[in-house]
């Protein structure tokens, strides 16, 4: 017992001596990052900036919320480091931002990164290809990220019309938009979400429309069996079909690629397949390339155009509404259907989804 007491006493004395002499472990130095940069800006074309900093720990540099920024090298052990921060060109008409973070152990330093928007092209001098007309309404899709207030979405379930397989929705499904505006064009998208397929159908000036004029749109069509994009018109005061009329300026179905069709519908002529009521033209790249589709509509005739060349002329024969219900206001429709009586006539190929119909502009001209 006495021997153990002596040993314990000696150990305690040694501990006191060590403490008095400043012995024991030194506290670990704190992790540290020193960087004088708080902001970094890129112009529209992108480019590179050098970023220098010091750290007392292994470090890494990464961008948050931006796939348009790269850092090289993005990690290292050197106490004094210089990395290259690069940005790709911004082709959108909106500026963009991101956050760059230097991380060294528990220490971090953040840098705000910005990039200028792309320059909007000068507004073109919009004139009608036919003489005697002036512009009364247009959408060049150069503003905003969604269709403007002149447009309204149709909302209907699958098989609402023509046995089409898509549901039309107002804007988006589970965060995925069926219509959006970017880089100067309107995109109408068709996609599958779960077991359902969704798409967009847009009406321009639904409550007023126009009576007579030159209606024009520049459109790029999607590819794939099952697609059925269209640019067409229906009467504002609709009561029955086809008695009130329908003007199909352009339609195409994916199983017959690059063949665009113009058609009128009325009681006298309705899906008869005659040269009086319908005509088609094969284009080399209607799917994947922009083309101009238009109709000149007067009290006496309608002439349909593809890239400025006449495709079909339907005339008012003077026999009344059964042959010519086209004397009231009609509104413009843009839609992308999937399947249905015509689009799905030879089946559909869901492997091509998602697909997109792209519209450069829609314009309406009327007589001076």
DSSP conformation letters of 37-91: --EEEE-TT-EEEEEEEEESS-EEEEEES-SSEEEES-EE--SEEEEEEEE----
3-class secondary structure, 350: helix
Question: What one-character DSSP code corresponds to residue 186?
Answer: E
CATH 2.60.40.10 domain range(s) in the chain: 33-115
pLDDT number for residue 15:
46
- Cα–Cα dist 157/134, whole Å: 39
| 366 band by pLDDT with thresholds 50, 70 and 90 | very high
Q: Which CATH number fits domain 133-367: 3.40.1160.10, 3.40.50.970, 3.30.420.40, 2.60.120.200?
A: 2.60.120.200
Among candidates 116, 112, 66, 113, which has minimal Cα distance to 95? 116
Establish whether 287 is a catalytic residue. Answer: no
| 125 band by pLDDT with thresholds 50, 70 and 90 | confident
Establish whether 172 is a catalytic residue. Answer: no
pLDDT number for residue 120:
74
Q: Pick the catalytic residue: 154, 164, 251, 356? A: 251
| 123 band by pLDDT with thresholds 50, 70 and 90 | low
Sheet of strand 201-204, all strands in order from the earlier edge strand to the far edge: 151-153, 201-204, 330-338, 227-235, 246-251, 259-265, 278-282
- How far CA 256 is from CA of 7, 41, 268, 286, in Å, comes to 99, 49, 27, 11
Among candidates 183, 192, 159, which has minimal Cα distance to 92? 183
CATH 2.60.120.200 domain range(s) in the chain: 133-367
pLDDT number for residue 122:
65
Q: Pick the catalytic residue: 246, 296, 356, 358? A: 246
pLDDT number for residue 161:
96
pLDDT number for residue 42:
97
The class level of CATH for 33-115 reads mainly beta
Condensed to tens digits (0 to 9), the pLDDT of residues 104-120 reads 999 999 999 999 998 87
| 2 band by pLDDT with thresholds 50, 70 and 90 | very low
Q: CA dihedral defined by 35, 37, 43, 48, rounded to 10 degrees?
A: -20
| 91 band by pLDDT with thresholds 50, 70 and 90 | confident
- Checking if the pLDDT of 368 tops 90, the result is no
Could you tell me the two tokens for 178? 């069926």
Q: Which residues contact 291 (CB under 8 A, 6 or more apart)?
A: 218, 219, 220, 260, 283, 306, 307
pLDDT number for residue 119:
83
Q: CA dihedral defined by 202, 207, 211, 215, rounded to 10 degrees?
A: -20
pLDDT number for residue 124:
66
| 25 band by pLDDT with thresholds 50, 70 and 90 | low
Q: For tokens 């501990």, what's the residue? A: 15
Question: What one-character DSSP code corresponds to residue 299?
Answer: S
- Give the dihedral sign, CA 255/256/258/262: negative
């Amino acid at each position: 017992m006495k021997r153990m007491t002596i040993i314990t006493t000696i150990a305690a004395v040694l501990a006191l001596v060590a403490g008095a002499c400043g012995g024991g472990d030194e506290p670990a130095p704190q992790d540290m990052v020193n960087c004088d940069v708080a902001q970094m800006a890129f112009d529209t074309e992108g480019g590179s900036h050098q970023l220098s900093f010091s750290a007392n720990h292994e470090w890494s540099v990464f961008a948050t919320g931006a796939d348009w920024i790269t850092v090289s090298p993005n990690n290292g052990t050197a106490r004094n480091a210089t990395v290259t921060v690069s940005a790709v060109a911004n082709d959108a008409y909106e500026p963009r931002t991101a956050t760059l973070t230097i991380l060294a152990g528990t220490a971090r330093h953040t840098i705000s990164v910005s990039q200028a928007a792309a320059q909007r092209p000068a507004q073109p001098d919009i004139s009608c290809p036919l003489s005697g007309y002036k512009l009364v309404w247009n959408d060049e899709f150069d503003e905003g990220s969604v269709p403007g207030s002149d447009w309204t979405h149709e909302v209907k379930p699958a098989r609402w019309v023509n046995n089409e397989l898509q549901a039309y929705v107002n804007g988006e499904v589970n965060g995925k938009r069926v219509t959006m505006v970017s880089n100067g064009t309107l995109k109408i998208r068709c996609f599958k979400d779960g077991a359902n397929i969704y798409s967009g159908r847009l009406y321009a000036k639904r409550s007023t429309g126009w009576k007579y004029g030159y209606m024009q749109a520049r459109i790029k069509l999607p590819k794939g069996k099952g697609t059925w994009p269209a640019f067409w018109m229906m009467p504002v005061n609709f009561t029955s079909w086809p008695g009130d009329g329908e003007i199909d300026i352009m339609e195409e179905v994916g199983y017959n690629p690059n063949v665009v069709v113009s058609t009128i519908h009325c009681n006298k002529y309705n899906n008869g397949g005659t040269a009086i009521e319908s005509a088609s033209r094969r284009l080399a790249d209607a799917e994947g390339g922009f083309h101009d589709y238009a109709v000149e509509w007067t009290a006496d005739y309608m002439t349909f155009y593809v890239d400025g060349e006449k495709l079909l002329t339907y005339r008012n024969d003077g026999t009344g509404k059964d042959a010519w219900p086209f004397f009231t206001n009609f509104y413009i429709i843009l839609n992308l259907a999937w399947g249905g009586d015509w689009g799905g006539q030879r089946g559909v190929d869901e492997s091509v989804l998602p697909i997109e119909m792209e519209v450069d502009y829609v314009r309406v001209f009327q007589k001076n």
